[in-house]
Structures are given as C-alpha cells and as structure tokens.
Amino acid sequence: MTPESPEPSPPGLGRRELLRGALASALPALGLPAAAASGPLVVGGLPVTCNLTLPVACTARAAANKAAGSSAFAFEYSKYNGWPEIKESLMTGRIQAAYMLAPLVMDLADKRIPVKIVSLGHRSGAVIMVRTDSPYKKFRDLAGKRIAIPSRFAVDFLFLRKMLAQEGMSPKDVQIIEMPPPDMPAALYAKAVDGYCTGEPFGAAAQRAGYARPLRMTRDEWRNYICCVLTVREELIKENRPLVQDLVNHVQGAGNWLDLQPGNREKAIQIAAGRKFFNQDPNILRFVMENPSDRVTYGDLRMIRAEFDELMQLSIEAGTLKSPVAYEKYVDESFVKAAKAAPIAL
C-alpha cells in the first residue's frame, strides 16, 4: 500500500507555455480571473488523514465547477511521499501551495522563504505505535529502542518528546530514526524499528493488520494538537488573493462537512482512497475514521495564536528552531478571518 512519490517536473518553455504566459499577462486588461488561464492550482499533500480536507476540497470545487459550467477556480492534488520532497517543491516554486508541517513553515519563513500559513487542515490524528507482541507499556520500557518519526520538524516528534518528558526521559534515551510515514508499518513488522510516531492512517494500517497497537494517541494526550497546515507562497497571495480565499473556503467547508455526520466521512474515504488521491485501502481509512471516531477531527480549524506559540516553543526546546519567529512572519490570518465555508455538495 506504499504510495508512489511524484516526480514533478519544472514547467517547460514550449510554444504552448509561452502562449499561456502571454494570455495570463493579458488577463487584467480582459477582466478575467488568472486561474482560468494558468490551469488548476496544484496543492501538494501527503497521503495521511491529517490531509483529508484537501481531497474533499479539490473534489467539491470540481463538482461545483461542473454544476456551474465554469472553471474560474480549480485545485489539483499532488501526492508526495515525504516531507523533504514537498518542502523542496514549495521552496523552489514547483508548487505554489501545500499542506506542510507547522514548525517547518516557521523555519522556512525565518530563512526568508516567502511562505505563509493560511489555514489549519485538521486536529489530532497522531499515534505512537509499538508491536502487539512487545512488552512495552510505558515509555520507560522504550529506553535504548529505535523509534521512527517522519521528520525532526514534525509535530509528531514534539508529541513523542512530550510523552517521554512525562516519564522523565528525553529523545537521548531512545534512538530516533527519520523515515517516510508510508514505510513505517513495514519497518515495524520487520522489526527494523521498535516503535514509530506518525499521522494516520499509518498507525491504523498496522493496528488493523494485527501486529501493532497504539502506545499513545494525541486524542487522549494533546487534544488541540495541530500538525499539517495549508501553506501558500507569498507571490500567489499577491497575484491571486481570490484563488487563495476560495481554497481556504473549501478547506474550511471540508472540515465542517467531515465532522457533520458519519456518512460524509464514508464519502470522503471513497474519494481519498482513489488513485487520484491517496491510493490506499479504503478499509484502513475507515478504520481511522471509526476507531474511535475522534481519532482525527476536522471541524475546528480556527487559527489560534497561542497554539502556534506553543508549537514554536516546543520546537525551540527540541532544537529544530534556533530562536522565536514572529507570528506575522509565517501566518496570514486574513483568509481565515474572511472565510465563508464553502458548501460541500458531494
């Protein structure tokens, strides 16, 4: 079930691209929206349920376009296998928008990479998994063991640090290994690692298969946990605010819709499981949505400064950030403040 990582290519300079660029330049004079000529906005994401609002938002916008016979705004999901790849694509401008790790965006902004967080994507949804047949009951039992994390910038790593600290431990007491989330279940099965901390559905995949169990879940330990945030490059904000606003509206609408009723989550499972999006077993996604139902939540996508401040402080303590980063340097609240959650007709 390991998804493939895309290899996006830089845009070419063929005749079609040159004509497209010329048309885009003429749009202000014609009074047409820029998105109509430039094609759909590509938004990068990982095949994790913390990103589930993105496939729903993309599909809802496409359905609305079809019903209206218009394509003024359109979004296209681009699947990545790990954070380093998606970070590189956003940094170099291959993509203009992505779901990113919040502390990673802080670091990029501090290094003068022109990116801004414009919306949350979820809450909760991380787990720390160990083998079912292991004797591990508490973190003290993991002393000296190999624990996989997606990245040292991942909030999953901060979650692991919080759990270790509760028992007077630190990451120095375990062996930390960075690994793409899709590889973690197989690594645990092969005993290449003794545990892993990541977003779903890669905990549920191993749990449902019967060889892993959660040691801790954010739903029990860190209720206001946020990890993946919708991030856009600043030039997109400057060049096409209406497009960014429409994307935020659809992400916010998707969050409300997902938590409204179980039937909506089932529809989201069928959408996200497809080859166009996560390309995963729908039964695993369903396991995440039902065991328990608040394993990941989406309805509260408020941007709360104190929560970002907490993440930043934890990141400084973890050494992934060297010093505080001004909130306004990496967050643009204007889109959430102006958001009108889009109706999701799926």
Residues 141 and 214 grouped into a single domain: yes
Q: What is the pTM of this model?
A: 0.86
Residue 136 is assigned to a structural domain of this protein: yes
Q: Give the range of the structural domain holding residue 299, as residue numbers without chain letter.
A: 15-124+226-305+321-337
Give the model confidence (pLDDT) of 111-140 as tens digits.
999 999 999 999 999 999 999 999 999 999
User: Could you tell me which residues come within 8 angstroms of residue 134 by beta carbon, excluding any fewer than 6 positions away?
Assistant: 194, 195
pLDDT reported for residue 27: 35
Instruction: Please give the tally of structural domains in the chain.
Output: 2
Together in a domain, 120 and 231: yes
CATH for 149: 3.40.190.10
Question: What mean pLDDT, rounded, does the chain reach?
Answer: 89
In this prediction, residues 292-316 reach a mean pLDDT of: 95
Average pLDDT estimate for 9-20 = 34
Looking at the structure, do residues 21 and 120 belong to the same domain, yes or no? yes
8 falls within a domain: no
More confidently predicted of 182 and 255: 255
pLDDT at 218: 96
Same domain, 154 and 192: yes
pLDDT on residue 82: 85
Residues 136 and 114 in one domain: no
The pair of structure tokens assigned to 151 is 């990245």
Q: Exposed, middle or buried: residue 112 (CB in 10 Å: 0-12, 13-18, 19+)?
A: exposed
* Mean pLDDT along residues 166-177: 96
Last residue of a domain, one of 200, 221, 242: 221
Give the separation between CA 152 and CA 299, rounded to whole angstroms: 27
Write down which residue in 173, 190, 221 finishes a domain.
221
Asked whether residue 344 is assigned to any structural domain, the reply reads: no
pLDDT at residue 38, rounded to an integer: 62
User: What percent of the chain has pLDDT above 90?
Assistant: 84
Asked if residue 251 belongs to a domain, the reply is yes
CA distances from 22 to 14, 18, 238 (A): 12, 6, 19
Same domain, 48 and 119: yes
pLDDT band at 8 (very low <50, low <70, confident <90, very high): very low
Inside any domain, residue 332: yes
Domain membership flag for residue 81: yes
One-letter identity of residue 313: Q
Domain membership flag for residue 140: yes
pLDDT tens track for 134-168 = 999 999 999 999 999 998 989 999 999 999 999 99
Shared domain for 174 and 259, answered yes or no, is no
Q: Which helix (H) or strand (E) holds 327?
A: helix 327-330
Q: Is a pLDDT exceeding 90 seen at residue 10?
A: no
Tell me: do 162 and 295 sit in the same domain. Answer: no
SS (H, E, C) 235-297: HHHHHCHHHHHHHHHHHHHHHHHHHHCHHHHHHHHHHHHCCCCCCCCHHHHHHHHHCCCCCEE
The tens digit of pLDDT for each residue in 47-71 reads: 999 999 999 999 999 999 999 998 8
Average pLDDT over residues 312-321: 95
pLDDT of residue 1: 38
Residues 26 and 161 placed together within one structural domain of the fold: no
As a whole number, mean pLDDT of residues 258-263 equals 96
Q: What local confidence, expressed as pLDDT, does residue 314 receive?
A: 95
Point out the domain boundary residue: 221, 252, 286: 221
pLDDT at 36: 38
Residue 291 lies inside a defined structural domain of this protein: yes
- Same domain? For 81 and 178 the reply is no
Phi first, then psi, for residue 286 (nearest 5°) are -65, -35
Does residue 45 sit in the same domain as residue 112? yes
Residue 169 has pLDDT above 70, yes or no: yes
Rounded to whole angstroms, the Cα distance separating 212 from 148 reads 14
Task: Name the percent of the chain lying above pLDDT 70.
Answer: 89
Residue 232 sits in the same domain as residue 116: yes
What are the tens digits of pLDDT across the range 207-235?
A: 999 999 999 999 999 988 999 999 999 99
